[in-house]
Amino acid sequence: MKRLLALVLALTGCIATWAQEQAIRPLDVPMSFSGTYGELRHDHFHSGVDWRVGGKAGDDIHAIKSGYVSRVSVSPWGYGNGLYITHPDGTTSVYGHMLRFFDALARRVEAEQYAQESFSVNLTFGPDEFPVRQGDVVGQVGNTGSSAGPHLHMEIRDTEKDLTLNYISRGVYKPLDRTAPQFHRVAFYALDTLPVAESWRIHNLTNPAAVRDTLPLPRRSYVAIDATDRQEGTGAKLAVEEYRVSLDDTLLFAFKVGDVAFDKGRYIKSLIEYRESRLGGRDLVKSRVDPNNLLADRIECHNGGLIILDDDAVHTLRLDAIDEHGNRASLRYKVRRADGFQAPAPDTTLHSTPWLWYMQNMVSDGAMTYYLPAGALADWLLSDASILC
């Protein structure tokens, strides 16, 4: 009986392995990336991985698993020629910026473009129209759409939830990565609370690892971090997967990108120090947490992510940047409370009435009235009751 049970278990194990195909690489060239999942891109997180092809278009793209072509999108923008293959395991692989699709599909797309009299088309297909087997050549690498050079943008999505999955941190592919992230800039901001939460930059550390002196901070402040990751075999600046800020032994803030749903991607504006980004700078992840930041399910925080110094002692502030393979870079600063930080004069060009994120906001110039629905803004106000954590 035991032997029979073992046999049954072994057989079901075989069937499960057969059904759950392991993804193969989409390209024949050695695996190397110019962009990774979760990179901060001003108004969205990079939702896939950019596979390098050595600067030239035309390399074959292979279906990473069996399935069927469920969608094709053609556009001068975005993914350019984009191909979606739905797999039986509940995932969909997406291939962007393609030079061309395989012949039968290319003919169908062209016919639809003529029929619709439009270059841009968005077509969906049933399981029987264009089935593909793992390894089939589904087209070639290109530079179409919003792309700055030939590469393959590839995503793996949860088909049902329309979530893009961080497949490198899941270990679907295993690039060599023993290199820790790098800090490029660390900035500190003082925070005043009257009449509304007003913050201003007080330290801008462009060589953040070189600071030895104790940093003076006001009673309430927060920190923002510009860091990127490195990997062997590529000069690209890649995504940091997790940011952590601790004061002495207390974790004040941690953000881990996780899997990002498309409807939450815009909340990156609430994660970064948005003014720095708008002024043309890079995206710095800030420790202060806005009350309506809908990325809160991937944020851990204490005191709203604020550095609060209630005594005159020297404290240790620690910053960590961790990549998807667990390589970690750390910075430690000695900080001490100091008084006399003066807020700059208020910007009179700004709207004089604060807009409350939890209310509908309205502005009217007589001829037209604009409404902003409640919850459309992320920023906080002075009430401590609005602090998420």
Binding site for Zn ion (CB under 5 A): 35, 50, 153
Q: How far is the CB of 313 from Zn ion (least distance, A)?
A: 46
Nearer to Zn ion, 80 or 291 (CB): 80
Nearer to Zn ion, 18 or 77 (CB): 77
Answer whether 39's CB lies under 8 Å from 4's CB. Answer: no
Residue closest to 289 by CA, chosen among 300, 277, 279: 300
Q: How far is the CB of 46 from Zn ion (least distance, A)?
A: 6
Cα–Cα dist 45/268, whole Å: 7
Nearer to Zn ion, 186 or 239 (CB): 239
Q: Annotate 68-100 with DSSP letters as a single string.
A: EEEEEEE-SSTTSEEEEEE-TTSEEEEEESEEE
Residue with smallest beta-carbon separation from Zn ion: 153
Q: How far is the CB of 64 from Zn ion (least distance, A)?
A: 16
* Cα distances (angstroms) measured from residue 203 to each of 206, 248, 294: 9, 20, 28
Sign of CA dihedral 380, 381, 386, 387: positive
Q: How far is the CB of 82 from Zn ion (least distance, A)?
A: 11
Q: Residue 5 gets which letter from DSSP? A: H
Element (H, E) at 191: strand 182-192
Nearer to Zn ion, 96 or 258 (CB): 96
Nearer to Zn ion, 113 or 143 (CB): 143
Q: Which residue has the tokens 């900080």?
A: 335
Nearer to Zn ion, 39 or 273 (CB): 39
Q: Which two tokens stand for residue 309?
A: 């110094």
Q: How far is the CB of 241 from Zn ion (least distance, A)?
A: 16
